[in-house]
Structure formats: C-alpha cells, structure tokens
Amino acid sequence: MADLSALKYTAEHEWVAVDGDVATIGVTAYAAQQLGDVVYVDLPAVGTQISGGAVVGEIESTKSVGELFAPIDGEVVEVNQAVVDSPDLVNAEPFDGAWLIKVRFTALPELLSADEYAAITGA
Amino acid sequence: MTELRTPLHDLHAAGGASFTDFGGWQMPVRYSSDLAEHHAVREAAGLFDISHMAQLMIAGPDAAAFLDAAITADVSAIPVSRARYAMLLAEDGGIIDDLIVSQNAPGEYLVVANAGNHDAVVEALTARIEGFEATLTDLRGHLALIAVQGPAAQRILEATAGLVQAPEWAMGHDLEELPYYAVMGMRFSSGGRDSAVLVSRTGYTGEDGFELAVDTAHAAALWQALLAAGEPLGLVPCGLAARDTLRLEAGMPLYGHELSRETQPAQAGLGRIAPPKTKTADFTGRAAVERGPGDDARVLVGLRAEGRRAARAGYPVLAGEEVVGEVTSGALSPTLGFPVAMAFVDPAHREPGTVLDLDVRGTRIPATVVALPFYSRKKS
C-alpha cells in the first residue's frame, strides 16, 4: 500500500503522487466508497493535453457517475488499462492497482495535504 | 428537513451500513457492495429495512367506500387477506403516489405509500375522507417494515426462531401456500414478549419474498432473528442502492422517476389498474384517466443498450437529430450485464425493436426498445 501521508490530494477526491515531473493520479478510497461498486471507467488517451480543472474522464458505479478532474496541466503519458478492463479495482485498491493516469506536468499547483484532505471528508 | 431514523438504525450502523437521505429518512444505501447485495437477492435472499415507507390504517363502516372514492383500486372487491396495487390520483389524472392496499380484517385496510410522499398522501386522503364514517391513522413511529426478498425467502421465514404461524390470525393461509399479493398474520416471540407480525407476499425486487410489518419495539429483535436464520441460507442485509437496481431490472416504476404528478397511469403502462374494468364506483381522477393522456403523450418503454455505459435519469433519447424522449432510470444491469433504462418516448417510437440513441453525456449510444420487464424470475 502506498504511503498515504506522502500523497497530495484535491477537493475533487483525487490523490496525486509526484515523481520528478510525472504525477500519478487516482481517486481516493473515500470517493470509491461514496460511488459504490465501480462498473465503468473512461480515461483520456495517451498524448492528450489536459488542463487543470477540466473533466478528463468518468468513473461510473451502479448508482451514479463520478467525473475525473485533471488536477494539473500537462500531457497524459500513461493510462492504466488494468482498471479500464477491471473497474472494480477502484473499489478494491484505490491507492495502488487502480491508479488512473500518469501526467507529465509543467508546473505543480497547490494541492491538499493528507490532513487537509481528511478534514474535508470528515475522516 | 427532519432527519427521521427507523427503529433499526443502530443495527444498520453497527453492521457497517453507509447512509443516505431518502424522503427525510436516514436510510442504509449499502452494507458491503451494491453488486453483492443485488446478486444475493437474485440467488439467495436480501434483508431490507423499509420502515421509511408510509403506513396508514383506514378503518370504519365506510372504509371501503371511502377508499373506493379516493384511490383507483376496486377496494370493496378486495377480500380479507388480499392486497392490491393502486394509484392515488389528482383530479387531472396525475399520480400523487402509488400504493399497496390490503384488507387485514373486515373493514380494516392498511395502505402502504412511498416515504417521500407521506405528507401528500395523508393530505389527499384526509381531504377525501370527509363525509365518510371512517378513520385514518398514521402508523409512523408505530410500525416497522422489513422485507425478505429472494428465492430463499420462504425457507428463511420458516427457519426464523420465534416466528410462528398464528392460526387464530392467519386469515385462512399457510405460509407455504401464501399466494402472491396475499396477507397473513404470524406471531413473533423474543425475550419473553410476543407480538403480532403482518406478513404479505409482496415486494419490489422481482423475486419471491415477503414484507413483514411489526411494532417498532420488536423490530430489532425480528431483524436479528431473520438474519440469524437466513445467513446460513445466503441472506445478506441490503441497502437502497441494490433495491433500485433490482426494481429497475424488474421494470417496476419508482415515484419521482417513472411516476409523477405530470404523468397519468396509462403513460407508465399502468392503464390496466386505473380504472379497472370492473370498478363501478367513481373516484378522483377517473374522468381524466378515462379521457386519457392524449394521443401524443409520451409513454414508458424499456431500452437495452450495448457496452457498459449506462444512461441515467434526465438523459435525452434521440431519433436521428430529434429529441424524442427522456430517460427516467438507468443502470448497467448487474444480472444481465448490459445497460438498461426506462424512458418516456413519443408514441411513434414505442414499438419493441425500434432503435434509438441515448445521449450519454455527449456520446451517442444505440439502444433498442424492448418489452418490460428486463428480468423475470423463473417460476418454479
């Protein structure tokens, strides 16, 4: 399991792991739990230019649709085909197996710390 | 809004349920997984707390005549121990709520209505009861309602400790042979206390099953006894999320989605119950539903799509570039594995086999009109 305290977060319930100029992005366990059983994941293609705040993907559960917001500006350099093929990974391993996209970014915006994110979710 | 809690709330919390607001009630939305709960009901059984449903007792010498005038069902023709599905209509034929009414003793009727429509139902019935020798008693806070749904439901009731048939109150029924939409009395003993349980063979999942009305003081003990007896048979507690996908597969309308004040019963495929062919009594909305909703009024259809993306309530239905309808409920069917939706469409597009497009957040997904329900249980 990833070290959750080392991750950054967004108010849209995404986690961001930064390694050099590449950010790995997924949704938090809280988001996965709120969504319920995830049955479909739609992700941007490799090479897509994304800009912070834009909707770049969808995470559907039996009950509802969640949007994936780009937390940063950059280019999608990798998508997780395993989670497209097995959307239930989002529920099972939100912080590990179910990372969604890797983005090469130009600048890192201000993101939430683990404590700040926990305050949002009331955890 | 008042945050109402059922007498089972603490058990749900202890059982790990997530909660959601539903009609002013804090209700369990799921315990473990929507899909696991859904599949349990199809394959074994699920246990639902539906105590948020409005329950009203109508009694008195004019009870049947009052209900005949107030709702669509031919209430005076309902024998003791039988239940009917019915509509409460406005004068213009619009649906105020859908109900189940049963006669549980001579001249004594239980009306079960939707939680979110509790106030509207009480208000409409109270206005219509004037002049009749009948009383309306709101049982909120007095009666809990628990549903056991699934192919193992009967075996679970038979195995439940303390739950026994009460010959003096069984209304001529035996649990094993209780017909669909029939009601019987049983007794439940726990901790030295004995209470009556009204058991009806009804439900909202498309499976065999029962709904048990019990006084609130005994609800938790009955829930635990059902669970203890049922767990070896595959029973799991279920939340509202599974209930919604189950009823959608079974083609059952939900108030606020398929049914509303702007909808006449015939548009939702419920013309056969309002007005019933044999009913002679006049009732509120009768003239309007006999005139009908108009030839161009949209009608409810089932839609089946390929792939895994589900349309949701409010999404447009297209024929070419023209918007010809709107989705009222949609999900990826857990049992069938493809997306299903119910939608109101212009009548020109209602025939099964018609191919339309669903606008799923900007992406067009072809969908074929199919007969409802999407899923029917195999009758043994």
For chain B, what is the HEC assignment? CCCECCCCHHHHHHCCCEEEEECCEEEEEECCCHHHHHHHHHHCEEEEECCCCEEEEEECCCHHHHHHHHCCCCHHHCCCCEEEEEEEECCCCCEEEEEEEEEEECCEEEEEECHHHHHHHHHHHHHHCCCCCCEEEECCCCEEEEEEECCCHHHHHHHCCCEEECHHHCCCCCHHHCCCCEEEEEEEEECCEEEEEEEECCCCCCCCEEEEEEEHHHHHHHHHHHHHHHHHHCEEEECHHHHHHHHHHCCCCCECCCECCCCCHHHHCCHHHCCCCCCCCCCCCHHHHHHCCCCCCCEEEEEEECCCCCCCCCCEEEECCEEEEEEEEEEECCCCCCEEEEEEECHHHCCCCCEEEEEECCEEEEEEEECCCCCCCCCC
Of residues B18, B35, B361, nearest to A62 (C-beta): B35
Among chain B residues, CA nearest to A57: B361
Which residues of chain A are within 8 Å of residue B42 when distances are taken between CB atoms? none
Q: Which amino acid is at B359?
A: D
pLDDT digits (tens, 9 = 90+) for B163-197: 999 898 999 999 999 999 999 999 999 989 999 99
pLDDT digits (tens, 9 = 90+) for A57-108: 999 998 888 899 999 999 999 999 999 999 999 999 999 899 999 999 988 8
pLDDT at res. B275: 80
Q: How many CB atoms lie within 10 A of CB B119?
A: 11
pLDDT at res. B274: 82
Q: What average pLDDT score do residues B136-164 get? A: 97
Sign of the C-alpha dihedral, residues B97, B199, B277, B369?
positive
CA dihedral B179, B182, B188, B193 (to 10 degrees): -160
Tokens of B313: 């309530």
pLDDT at res. B378: 78
CB contact under 8 A, B332 and A64: no
Residue A3 predicted with pLDDT over 90? no
Q: Enter the DSSP assignment of A90.
A: H
pLDDT digits (tens, 9 = 90+) for B278-305: 899 999 999 999 999 999 999 999 999 9
Tokens 């938790």 belong to residue = B220
Q: What average pLDDT score do residues A22-29 get? A: 95
Q: How many CB atoms lie within 10 A of CB B196?
A: 14
Taking CA B39 as the corner, what is the angle to CA A94 and CA B188, rounded to the nearest 5 degrees?
Answer: 115
Which residues of chain A are within 8 Å of residue B37 when distances are taken between CB atoms? none
Q: Which of these, B82, B12, B21, B14, lies nearest to B47 by C-alpha position?
A: B12
- Residue A60 forms contact with B (CB below 8 Å): yes
pLDDT at res. B96: 98
Q: What whole-number distance in Å separates Cα of residue B320 and Cα of residue B109?
A: 50
Which residues of chain B are within 8 Å of residue A66 when distances are taken between CB atoms? none
Q: Please report the residues numbered 22 through 41 in chain A whose beta carbons come closer than 8 angstroms to any beta carbon of chain B.
A: 33, 36-37, 39-40
Confidence at B203, pLDDT banded by 50, 70, 90: very high
This model of the complex carries an ipTM of 0.79
* CA distance to partner chain A, nearest, from residue B312 (Å): 8
Report the first-to-last Cα separation within chain A, whole angstroms. 19
Statement: the pTM of the whole predicted model exceeds 0.95: no
